[in-house]
Amino acid sequence: MRQVSGFERPVVQWLFVALGIVLIGVAASEAVALRRARTQNESLRVADLNARLEQQRLEAQIARERAARESLTLQLARQTGDGALVVQPTLTLSPLSRRGAQPPDPTVVKPADDQLIQLRLLLPAPAKSDVAHFRIAVRLWSGGDPVWARAGLTVSIVDNKRMVTAYISGDVLGPGAYEIALTTDAGDTSVDVASYEVGVRPADSR
């Protein structure tokens, strides 16, 4: 094997040693930076997971409090001082054939926050009759942020029409556009049944 010309010089040898030390230092600093980046990413991931869990906990708590308030309001609204039944206002929606390209027109007037409304979702004609329970989820039309949900609902027959009903308080429906998803409530395997839309305008608007 031929010797490289000039490599026997001490200056060249020390130059290679210096370059090796520099490369080792660069590699070590890159390894430290990579380790720090991984640690930081892991910390951010854990923080994001904790934030999501906290958000889910708060949403679940709000849902429980809202359900309890709606149940109490319903019980109080069912009877007046003389025991007479009070008729609740209703909001009946028909299923969509497809989602609109624009938000729905605000055809519903904003109800009072403490007003209890019976939400009626008409079932599509080919809906299965053997489904035991349904779930209603109300979301903002733009962005899809969840607003309200109720599970464990059954089919009702009103005026010879099959529908899924639930009581919802007026504070849920602020001015804006909403989409409502009706799905089967069967544990982890839910199936879409129908979609609905509604637009709410302020109470003082003409």
Residues 97 and 78 in one domain: no
Residues 190 and 111 in one domain: yes
**Below-70 pLDDT ranges, the chain:** 1-9, 11-13, 56-88, 127-130, 186-188, 205-206
Residue 18, phi then psi, degrees to nearest 5? -65, -40
Q: Identify the domain boundary among 87, 120, 137.
A: 87
Say how far residue 110 (Cα) sits from the centre of its chain.
Answer: 22
CB burial of residue 193 (10 Å; 0-12, 13-18, 19+): buried
- Tell me the C-alpha distance between 44 and 8, whole Å: 53
Give the residue numbers spanning the domain of 50: 1-87
Residues 7 and 102 in one domain: no
- Is 206 domain-assigned? no
Residues 130 and 185 in one domain: yes
Q: Please, what's the b/e burial string for 118-129 (b: 16 or more CB within 10 A of its CB; e: otherwise)?
A: bbbbbbeeebee
CATH classification of the domain holding 99: 2.60.40.10
Question: What is the predicted pLDDT for the residue at 49?
Answer: 81
Question: What is the predicted pLDDT for the residue at 121?
Answer: 94
